[in-house]
Structure 1
């Protein structure tokens, strides 16, 4: 696969619901009550239950691996958590939108993918980049 700077990945839109948070908590063994207990989340100053940052990051990784077709081609991935994804207690949940594009093609044939993750019109992952081969 030859990479071109500016090439855009197919966008990914994900509904993050409370039941998804519970399943992720079990898989990750992260049972922090801010991810499932509305009363606790509000007591610590959050607007409501929030998604796990690592779940949001993983979904951004899915944008890249879906595009690659082979997760083994993902060499490196990192980001910063800039805003929480607030997940309401309803059937719809929170919509998180992921986009990405090639920001750099390197001499060794790898490329840097710049990822944008937005919830409620605001970026939730900062400096989200992946290196692919």
Structure 2
């Protein structure tokens, strides 16, 4: 099982950042919370900060950890480790994704999410 962290980045207005996977990525054009695979010897928290810097050119601060969610795709399985975060420095610059949007929590379920992110969205909205 691949361990992957993801960031639920919330701004001062309570909106949540969602990113759209590029056409070159697996699950092209699906929406997701940004993040990535945990490297050997790396904590999930360190991974999250590194991945958000690499993908979005942002520095984030972790506010809280959310419940992990396992998902089984046809050819691989992931354990998604979500964290609620806020931006402390930087301006969004997409390095891998096709697009991004700030959304009201009430609009999140209207997105075409990557399957593994759906339970994370549902859990976040249940809080």
Same fold (TM over 0.5): no
Q: Which has the higher strand share?
A: 2
Name the structure with the higher helix share: 1
Structure with bigger gyration radius: 1
